[in-house]
Amino acid sequence: MNIVILGPPGAGKGTYARLLSEKYTIPTISVGDLFRKAITDETKLGKSVKNYLSSGELVPDKIVIEVVKNRLEEEDCKKGFLLDGYPRTVPQAEAMMNFNKIDVAFNFVVPDDVIASRIGGRRTCSKCGAIFHLINVPPKVEGICDICGGTLIQRADEKPQIIKNRLEIFREKTKPVADYLRTKGLVVDIDANYPIEEIDKIIDQCENYLQTLR
């Protein structure tokens, strides 16, 4: 079963991908993770990607497509996979359709004001990287990580103006991908406007559709 995860920043795509991956025992392929590993390993790809990212540029489609294609050819993807963070452009989507059959693209829909609240309320431990939320998952002691005692900070890209910019970029660059895949009959919209304690209602929508494919 080959699944694409779509949606705006703050929709919870990574969480849904992880839960579905565990449920169906298929790997989650995150382009961001692939790039970070390449940078850490100091590979030729990593050095190239680092140059683009450090200058704030998008990694060219050609590089992204090659990285994903190579990853999907690995043995653990033979029985299926979840793509998180890919495709992000229409050329990437077109290439994906050429080298892999996609069963469904789940498009997680969340109102902008909810996204702003979700992202704006996040706090990250400056020491261990653990993530908290002022409303949904508050720390036991304000400003202090429950796990290691480190200081909780708000990342620069989670501040109000930056959130607004990220949503604008999403509409400009990534929404056309959903529109393209919709013309192929692959997109299933998922209502993801539920609090974290009701996340099962979101996953149930996905599972109900996947059962129709069996």
- Percent of the residues in the chain that have a pLDDT greater than 70, as a whole number: 99
177 located within any domain:
yes
Residue 88 designated active-site: yes
- Could you tell me whether strands 122-125 and 2-6 are parallel, antiparallel, or unpaired per DSSP bridges? unpaired
200 located within any domain:
yes
145 located within any domain:
no
39 located within any domain:
yes
135 located within any domain:
no
Query: Which range in 7-16, 27-36, 70-79, 153-162 is most confidently predicted, on average pLDDT?
Result: 70-79
Instruction: Report the amino acid identity of residue 94.
Output: E
pLDDT surpassing 90 at residue 193 = yes
What confidence score (pLDDT) does residue 95 get? 94
What confidence score (pLDDT) does residue 55 get? 67
Catalytic residue among 13, 71, 118, 123: 13
Catalytic residue among 71, 88, 118, 123: 88
How big is the CA angle at 114 (ends 3 and 102), to the nearest 5 degrees? 10
In whole angstroms, how far apart are CA 97 and each of 39, 92, 160? 27, 9, 36
**Residues with Cβ within 8 Å of residue 4, at least 6 apart in sequence:** 82, 83, 86, 87, 96, 102, 104, 105, 106, 181, 186
159 located within any domain:
no
For 22, the domain range is 2-110+172-213
Q: How many domains does the chain contain in total?
A: 1
Average pLDDT over residues 15-44: 89
69 located within any domain:
yes
Catalytic residue among 166, 175, 182, 201: 166
65 located within any domain:
yes
Supply the pTM of this predicted model: 0.82
pLDDT in tens, 120-158: 898 999 999 888 999 888 999 999 999 999 999 998 778
CATH number, domain of 30, equals: 3.40.50.300
Residue 13 designated active-site: yes
When mean pLDDT is compared across 53-62, 82-91, 155-164, 183-192, the lowest value belongs to 53-62
State the pLDDT confidence band at 56, using cuts at 50, 70 and 90: low
- Percent of the residues in the chain that have a pLDDT greater than 90, as a whole number: 56
Catalytic residue among 37, 47, 78, 155: 155
